[in-house]
C-alpha cells in the first residue's frame, strides 16, 4: 500500500477523520465495569493536520478536573498500513475511518498502553452530519475482561486549531 505523503492525501484516504480537524471542548466520564461513575473531567482537544513538520496528524489533549488538577497529553501520529499509527511512550495503536459506515460518521481506534500489553481499548467516534458535535465511546479490557468504559461528549469550538496552539 502506498502511504499518504501529504495532509491532503491523508484526508482523501480518511475523509471522516479529516472532519475532526479543529478544536473540541468536551467532558470525559469514566465508568467501572458495573456502570458506576469513577471520574469526570473537562477536555480541550486540538486535532491538527499540519501542512509541515514530521507528522501528518497531531493531537494534543488538555484535561481539567474540578479540583484544579490539569494534564496535557500529546499524540503525534504516523501513517502505517493506511491508518493513523501511534507508537510512543504512552500508547501503541491505530485509527481509521469505518469504511462500512455509508453515512460517513464513524472513526474507530484501537490501542494498548505502553508497557501494559494486556490492557487494550477500542474507541468509536461518531461525528454529527453538521461536523460540530461528536460522541466517543471507549471499552477498556484487561486480561480480556471488560474493566471500564469511557464516554466523551464534545462540541467543536473552532476549525482554526493554529490560533489555539499558543493559548
- The CATH number of the domain holding residue 84 is 2.40.128.20
Q: Is residue 136 part of a domain?
A: yes
Determine the pLDDT at residue 3.
Answer: 86
Domain count, the chain: 1
Give residue 138's pLDDT band: very low, low, confident or very high (50, 70, 90).
Answer: very high
Q: Is the pLDDT of residue 92 over 90?
A: yes
- What is the per-residue pLDDT across 49-59, written as a single tens digit (0 to 9) for each? 999 989 999 99
Distance of CA 36 to the CA centre of its chain: 23
pLDDT in tens, 66-78: 999 999 999 999 9
pLDDT at 2: 79
The pTM score is 0.94
Q: How far is CA 32 from CA 36, 37, 51, in A?
A: 5, 7, 40
| Average pLDDT score, the chain | 95
Q: What confidence tens digit (pLDDT) does each residue in 27-64 have?
A: 999 999 999 999 999 999 999 999 998 999 999 999 99
Residue 27 covered by a domain: yes
Residue 167 predicted with pLDDT over 70: no
Q: Write out the three cell numbers for 8.
A: 491532503
Is residue 41, in this structure, part of any structural domain at all?
A: yes
Considering the domain boundaries, does residue 35 fall inside one?
yes
Question: Using only C-alpha atoms, what is the Rg of the chain?
Answer: 16
Q: For residue 36, give its domain range.
A: 7-164
At 59 the pLDDT is 97
Task: Give CA–CA dist 119/30, Å, rounded.
Answer: 16
Q: Is residue 1 part of a domain?
A: no
The single residue listed with the C-alpha cell 471522516 is 16
pLDDT reading at 166 higher than 80: no
Domain-located, residue 34: yes
159 φ, ψ (degrees, to nearest 5): -85, -20
**Would 2 be classed as within a structural domain?**
no
Does residue 53 fall inside a structural domain? yes
Amino acid at each position: 500500500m502506498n502511504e499518504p505523503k501529504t495532509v491532503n492525501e491523508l484526508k482523501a484516504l480518511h475523509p471522516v477523520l479529516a472532519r475532526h480537524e479543529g478544536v473540541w471542548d468536551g467532558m470525559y466520564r469514566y465508568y467501572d465495569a458495573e456502570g458506576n461513575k469513577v471520574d469526570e473531567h473537562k477536555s480541550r482537544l486540538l486535532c491538527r493536520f499540519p501542512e509541515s513538520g514530521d507528522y501528518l496528524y497531531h493531537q494534543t489533549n488538555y484535561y481539567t478536573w474540578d479540583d484544579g488538577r490539569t494534564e496535557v497529553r500529546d499524540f503525534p501520529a504516523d501513517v502505517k498500513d493506511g491508518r493513523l499509527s501511534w507508537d510512543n511512550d504512552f500508547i501503541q495503536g491505530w485509527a481509521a475511518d469505518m469504511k462500512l459506515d455509508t453515512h460517513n460518521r464513524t472513526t474507530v481506534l484501537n490501542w494498548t498502553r505502553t508497557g501494559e500489553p494486556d490492557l487494550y481499548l477500542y474507541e468509536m467516534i461518531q461525528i454529527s452530519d453538521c461536523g460540530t458535535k461528536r460522541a466517543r465511546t471507549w471499552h477498556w479490557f484487561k486480561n480480556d475482561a471488560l474493566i471500564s468504559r469511557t464516554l466523551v461528549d464534545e462540541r467543536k469550538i473552532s476549525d482554526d486549531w493554529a490560533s489555539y496552539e499558543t493559548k
